[in-house]
Chains A and B, each alone.
Chain A
Amino acid sequence: MAEIRYDVPNEQWPVHPEKATLEGRNKFVGFWTFLAGETVLFASLFATYLALKDQVPSQEHLVAADLYHLELAFVMTMFLLTSSLTSVFAVYHMRNNNFGKMQLWLGITVLLGAGFLALEIYEFVEYVKLGHTFRSSAFGSAFYFLIGTHGFHVIVGLIWITLLIIRNANRGLSVYTAAKVNTASLYWHFIDVVWVFIFTIVYLLGVL
């Protein structure tokens, strides 16, 4: 069996620990390729949403301008943006071979992400109360599919990072775990990238 070294002394910790092994470099290139695919995936979702925006069966149905609240979208944006920064901190400490602080910042990232998710769920519940559901209109379907897919990515990211924190807790930092943390952090940033377009195209242009 191959073995991996934990608790590497600072002098031997590679400059780019996440890319110190062939597996790490593969992960890095493969994950960016995956993110490029995700770009197109979300583009298809945005395109569908824009084509179906405000397409409702009758006058009684609520449309974008009636529904969206800028305040909520702003608070959600702040949560996600900040969590993006905290995961940058985590990667910073990972590169500095500081396991404890890396875990701490990953934990804060998860908390902020969970806050975002809670607000999103609150938003969905409010809309459903108003009769704007996945099944009520084409607009509803497109809205929930776009925002829901992003929300699903957030959930996956939260579970992923939480699992990483727990699994690494009694292992520590190695080039093997560093690659895992780096990949999860890239994913988390990408979720934020998608959210930037969501708050712009869905919420800001929605209430105009």
Chain B
Amino acid sequence: MAQVKGKKAGFGAVLWDYLTTVDHKKIAIIYLVAGGFFFALGGIEAMLIRAQLAVPNNDFLSAGLFNEVITMHGTTMIFLAAMPLLFAFMNAVVPLQIGARDVAFPFLNSLGVWLFVFGGIFLNLSWFLGGAPDAGWTSYASLSIASPGHGIDFYAVGLQIAGAGTLISGINFVTTIITMRAPGMTYMRMPLFTWTTLVAAILIVFAFPPLTIGVFLLMFDRMFGSNFFIVEAGGNTIIWEHLFWIFGHPEVYVLILPAFGIFSEIFSTFSRKRLFGYSAMVFATVLIGFFGFMVWAHHMFTVGLGPTANAIFALATMAIAVPTGIKIFNWIATIWGGSIEFTTPMLYALAFIPSFVMGGVTGIMQAAAPADYQYHDSYFIVAHFHYVIVGGVVFALLAGLHFYWPIITGTMLSEKLGKIEMVIFFIGFHCTFLIQHWLGLWGMPRRVFTYLDGQGYNTANMISSIGAALMAIAVIILLINIIKTLVKNEKVGTDPWGDGRTLEWSLPIPTPYYNFANTPLIRGIDALALEKEEGDGTIPAAGPVEAIHMPNNSFIPFMISFGLFVAGFGALYFASGKPWAIDAVANLPEKPWALYVLIAGLAITFISMGVRSWKDDLGYYIPKEELEADLRELEARERGAK
């Protein structure tokens, strides 16, 4: 409200507002800031890895520290950077795209973001509390049970907390898209970013519970003396691999599908054309989502599951190439004959097609199970997944940042700096990872902290490290761009790109906290483009202005998350020095307070939940008069602008 009325609020008030907010637009900003911070952290870790590997026999990082850095790089980038940044865009855009006032569960939305923030902090505190996890982001049980100290415990508890937040957000978006669409917004009229968000959210709902169970097994083994992975007691470490990849494979689709969605929006906006083959795109999205669950064992070809199992999973994996191919061709057909505008987001989108296809092709190579025995655990794999994750997801995140920046902040990033950043990032990306395909085929294994001189890896690794530095420079340019833009603070008006096609571009900027004064009426795909072509360029209202029901702000989500954060420390230190503990932590000093911390933390969480359930939280109404006044003010402003 303070923003809309143009009042200046003190720092404390703003902070309290963000801590208690249930507004999806502010939660998007929290996701963006926290995700951006972790992205920078993961990036620094990547730079450390490339600095260590730049020359042979390097001792910049010790072997143990190198393991910690690669583990934290992977974990941070996937769980704390890529996913939250996508959630930032989903929160900022999806409710606006479907014509909703907010998400279905504003309270849970806030709970999701705080769980993620606390989980991320918990995981990263490991650096200061006796060493980070060092068993790789996959944390295979045979390694992670043996890893001494509490590093892996930070991984397990941190992921458990952040994962709970992600699951909650997933349920929230599924419900939002099913129930909160404006009149006329049928499923087959939803913008593609909304569609991909829906499918990704469904994937989250089905993929995160197996991770929760897997991480619980790990937690129980490491912290409470159970025997799931202790082979002497009958345990079986393959269970972890299955559970992890049952989650892990859908997870990459959770990342890439919203990225596809962002690119679909960008392609059609800047080609000034409707997306080619809309229904085929929707169908392909759903199909990719479904197939995503049937292929997890292709990460485990060399485990020895047997030829029949490998063949089934190899076949299913190759099948995914079909819907993905449909998408690629549809994007090309969208650009074809369009009136193309080469903005920064569009450049990223154009660069994405060849980059992602290269990653896809190496994916098909690995899907052939017998050939995979050659690629397994080599730099070829590293090259492959960076081509799909960076060439797909990170390109989409950067493109989306430029594209949706006006909606999030009300200003426009500099296009000049943006294009420089894009070119440097693109060159740096290919420079880093293209050569790694050959490194892998020449026999360099992944996750080694150094290599010998004279193995023929020197030049290639140096090229790769130079590329990484280029990417870092590009990100720094982006940061400068962001800071400059925020300092200048030149506000833009409605539809700043001039070619907005979907509902979110029809809203005034800054968007009022209730989003739509009038519930919009949607008459077709690309609602705004349709009204521009056939109507007067404004979205018709579904009814008269009426009082709007809004949810109350709440501090309870923060408390629930904080409770779990505290409880995490109790669980983490519970096994230290206990006679029944695994060897990794049995000889550490005993922490008698651990149990009490665990109980206290859980008490905070459950009491907060009880309070939430006990109190009636009915929200409040924005009176009709206020809405009408806002509308008049807006009209006056637009007249002034003309």
Contacts and interface: CB of A to CB of B under 8 A. Distances in A.
Interface string B230-263: 1011111001001100100000000000000000
Contact of A55 (B180, B210, B234, B613): B234
A138 B175 contact: no
A190 B387 CA distance: 42
A48 B235 contact: no
B235 A1 contact: no
Contact of A141 (B175, B228, B242): B228
Interface string B191-209: 0000000000000011011
A55 B224 contact: no
A166 to B, nearest CB: 9
B290 interface: no
Contact of A37 (B167, B175, B180, B614): B167
B234 A57 contact: yes
B235 A55 contact: yes
A54 B246 CA distance: 24
Contact of B243 (A34, A44, A56, A139): A44
Interface string B1-29: 00000000000000000000000000000
Interface residues of A, number: 42
B409 interface: no
Contact of A26 (B179, B214, B217): B179
B232 A145 contact: no
B226 interface: yes
Contacts of A134: 220, 224-226
Contacts of A136: 227, 233
Contacts of B170: 37
A4 B614 CA distance: 15
Contacts of A48: 213, 217, 228, 239, 243
A167 B616 CA distance: 10
A137 B174 contact: no
A140 interface: yes
A34 B228 CA distance: 26
Interface string B43-58: 0000000000000000
A34 B209 CA distance: 10
B227 to A, nearest CB: 4
A163 B234 contact: no
A45 interface: yes
Contact of A30 (B174, B230, B232, B242): B174
Contacts of A145: 216-217, 220, 226, 228
A37 B239 contact: no
Given A44-B243, A52-B236, A56-B234, A3 B105 contact: no
Contacts of B108: 30
The interface residues of chain B, by DSSP majority, are classed as: helix
Interface residues of B, number: 49
Contacts of B221: 141
A44 B214 contact: yes
B116 to A, nearest CB: 17
B610 A163 contact: yes
A145 to B, nearest CB: 7
A99 B210 CA distance: 40
Given A2-B549, A3-B618, A135 B225 contact: yes
A1 B205 CA distance: 34
A47 B239 CA distance: 9
Contacts of B208: 37
A22 B106 CA distance: 13
B621 interface: yes
B243 A163 contact: no
B104 interface: yes
Given A2-B549, A40-B209, A26 B175 contact: yes
Given A22-B179, A33-B175, A44-B209, A52 B225 contact: no
A176 B618 contact: yes
B178 interface: yes
Nearest to B207: A40
A55 B236 contact: yes
Contacts of A163: 610, 613-614
Contacts of A52: 228, 234-236, 239
B206 A25 contact: no
B543 interface: no
Contacts of B225: 134-135
Interface centre among B105, B206, B227, B246 (most CB of A within 10 A): B227
Given A1-B618, A135-B226, A34 B239 contact: no
A126 interface: no
A51 B236 contact: yes
A177 B58 CA distance: 66
B378 interface: no
Given A30-B104, A48-B239, A2 B209 contact: no
6 contacts: A22-B179, A55-B234, A163-B610, A164-B613, A167-B613, A176-B618
Interface of B: 104-105, 108, 167, 170-172, 174-175, 178-180, 205-206, 208-210, 212-214, 216-217, 220-221, 224-228, 230, 232-236, 239, 242-243, 246, 549, 580, 610, 613-614, 616, 618-621
The 8 closest A-B pairs by CB, nearest first: A55-B234, A41-B209, A138-B234, A141-B226, A44-B213, A30-B175, A26-B104, A138-B235
Given A2-B620, A48-B217, 6 more contacts: A22-B549, A26-B180, A30-B174, A37-B208, A47-B242, A138-B235
